[in-house]
Structure 1
């Protein structure tokens, strides 16, 4: 617990400094992370057991198990979406954001596919089920490489995820405060570094409280996924209104498509998200499911009541150029 608190404190303190400084640290950690995962793949693929794709334990619970696992692991490829929240700090967001979004998502998807193949293909499935990658890594890597994998891979994955999340998670809330959804005082920026220290402090408490109370992280993850997918469904459906809300910007967009194609993409995305919500919700206990529904309802009620107060005045948060 002490180590977890120290790590959380370090990264929150790091993000008090400007994003550019944080990004340099992040880039270094990502290089070590990719190197560690690449070593796991390169040394592991030749040791994947023959007949791996036809063994009895392959695709546990059949198609239903595959879809359920996909619904959970889709979360792992969502990291690139976070770059949207940092668009205000990009030099050329119209080009940088789409490039990073597509490249990062594809890279992570391919990397994870190879990692998963090694993780489940070297040893029998019953030996690695519900285990982390350390067990397989110890089998395929030399001692020095194994230690590098643990530090650069396992710890690196946690560190980069935590650091990136802290960097972007406050950005939409700053805009929400400016628009009046929350008190504007919460968006107070550090006079020198221009970072939202109050919001960072709130998220710091949200991070360390589960650590101190020893709340199961899997419990928190399952609780968050359903809510996240529901809000993504709303975003997907709302995207169909882009042509009518921003006709000029949409007409000039390099991603402009016909109305039919836009609707088809949004409907397809929504259907996929509905499936993911179903499979994630079905894995929750009745208590967690009720908690998810309660939190969703509370969010909608708060938004409705806050809007009715007249304090919400939406600022333009897009640029034409």
Structure 2
């Protein structure tokens, strides 16, 4: 487990990072988006998961090589600043903030599962309460949050294996009925894969915890690969069961509680709802709140945001103003009553826009740090590295396209306005405030 440091730096070991990666991934995909994806493509969701995993791996490969070369104290923001330049860093600092939609989605989805068992409860209050609990946990320091994550992920994996094991024997006799597959054609398969991309790609976000990692150049690439493989296998099993116990039209757009109630004995059903569904969502919420901090803090250090956001608590080493600001933003969305599907789609689309930006930025890595790159344990041919970055950008752009097909036009317009503001903001900020990009990476 992690060794506690007063400032929270260099304290997370490989086990901590792997738990954070797996916990971050499992939640949005299996618990929130599986039913939505089934509604789009039916039992072809298994193919969508496989396609998604392949595409997400393509997007993650440049991050794999980069994270094995340097420690990035500002995570993804460091990448944008190092390889994209000053304006690009400012743009990224604005777009990155949109990841708070993830924390909102996990909180709202948690409330949905509580409501499935206790329909008389106020869903907004439940979402607000669980968000509050994990905000307080993260205010207490990254080590505390990591220890909680470690224990919760063990429970989570067991719960998903129980769901899959019991569900396989309850599959419909006509599981392979052609009318249950490709319900929206190939476009539906790809749209479902795009919807699931945020869930499957979550392992790469531990790059944003490089500052806290003991040995990031070895542990982060390992956790990206192993975490993605473990989660994809779990997803495929759960996807088969979720789409196969009932006819597709009975589970389309719903969470997993209906299927779980059908296949599991009451004690195991309760365990799945609590230890599987609810724990999956809170581990994702916990991880999301954790990795949001460092990039925003580094952007504040450089001057893109008020310096107060870079201030860390003397006792816990946490950027408490950032955490509290995220808390307020999430609370506003929760109280607005926006449904989980819209939150997921908007957050997903913005997240993949971010990945397009990053993949294009880090193409310059071999030229910006040539000697460090040559010494990297994962050094490859520069042309191959460039090809992987371009492919990552293309795949991310494809995700954006297919996601926009599922979003109401008003939300698409809102996303475009947000991106336009992100493009203009760096020029305005530099005109009225001093912005200096600090070195926020280390070879060691």
**TM-score normalised by L of structure 1:** 0.96
> How far did 1:84 drift?
0.6
Q: How does 1:75-154 map to 2 (within 5 A)?
A: 75-154=198-277
Structure 1 unaligned spans of 5+: none
SS of equivalent residue, structure 1 residue 172 = helix
Listed as ranges, the matches of 1:1-321 within 5 Å are 1-309=124-432, 311-321=434-444
Using the TM superposition, give the Cα deviation of residue 59 of structure 1 relative to its aligned residue in structure 2, in angstroms. Answer: 2.3
Offset, 1:204? 0.6
Q: Note the C-alpha offset of 1:67.
A: 0.4
> Which stretch of structure 1 is more off in the superposition, 42-51 or 149-158?
42-51
CA RMSD of aligned residues (A): 1.4
Cα distance in 1, alignment partners of residues 170 and 340 from structure 2 = 32
* 1:140-167 deviation line (CA, Å, top 9, x unaligned): 1111000000001111111111111111
**3-state DSSP of counterpart to 2:273:** helix
Equivalent pairs, count: 321
Cα pair distance change 1:94/1:311, threshold 3 Å: same
Aligned equivalents of 2:353, 2:391: Cα separation in 1: 15
Q: Which runs of 5+ in 2 are unaligned?
A: 1-123
Alpha-carbon deviations, 1:112-148, whole Å to 9, x = none? 1110011001211111111111111111111100000
| Secondary structure at the counterpart of residue 53 of structure 1 | coil
Q: CA deviation at 1:308?
A: 4.5
Residue pair 2:198, 2:351 contacting (<8 A) in 1 also? no
Q: Which has the larger radius of gyration?
A: 1
Encode CA deviations 1:155-192: one digit per residue, 9 max, x unaligned. 11111111111111111001101111111112211111
Distance (whole Å) between structure 2 residues aligned to residue 112 and residue 30 of structure 1 = 15
Question: What's the CA shift string for 1:220-242, capped at 9, x where partnerless?
Answer: 22222222212211111112100
SS at match of 2:309: helix
Provide runs of 4+ in structure 1 moved above 3 Å. 307-310
Deviation at 1:49, TM superposition (A): 2.8
Aligned partner of 2:102 in structure 1 is none
Distance in 1 separating the partners of 2:409 and 2:133: 37
Distance 2:245 2:339 in 1: 29
